Amino acid sequence: MKVLVEQDKCAANGLCAMEAPEEFPLDADGFVSVDGALELPTAQRDAVLRAAAACPERVISLVGPENPFPVSGPGGL
């Protein structure tokens, strides 16, 4: 499972770490400490989905065919 973390958009509210602390650890200032495209264990899929849904800044997204939050393009559905 591939996940994209756009660390520069993080607002340091810690909600992702409450859902998936091992996948989304926080730094000393409360910002998510991972960045970029990550390969995460499929066994953690539910926790990662909860973390992605909890993030108000949309920092975390699944990429590839497993993306449960497809975004329609201009003029899309």
CB of 65 to ligand SF4, least distance (A): 23
Beta-carbon contacts of 3 under 8 Å, excluding residues fewer than 6 positions away, are 23, 37, 38, 40, 48, 52, 60, 61, 62, 63
Closest CB to ligand SF4 among residues 22, 76: 22
Site residues for ligand SF4 per CB under 6 A: 10-16, 24, 32, 54-55, 57, 59-60
Least distance in angstroms from the C-beta of 74 to ligand SF4: 26
- Give the shortest CB-3-to-ligand SF4 separation in angstroms: 11
- Given the DSSP bridges, would you call strands 2-5 and 60-63 parallel, antiparallel or unpaired? antiparallel
When the beta carbons of 14 and 45 are compared against ligand SF4, the nearer one is: 14
Q: Are 70 and 63 in contact (CB under 8 A)?
A: no
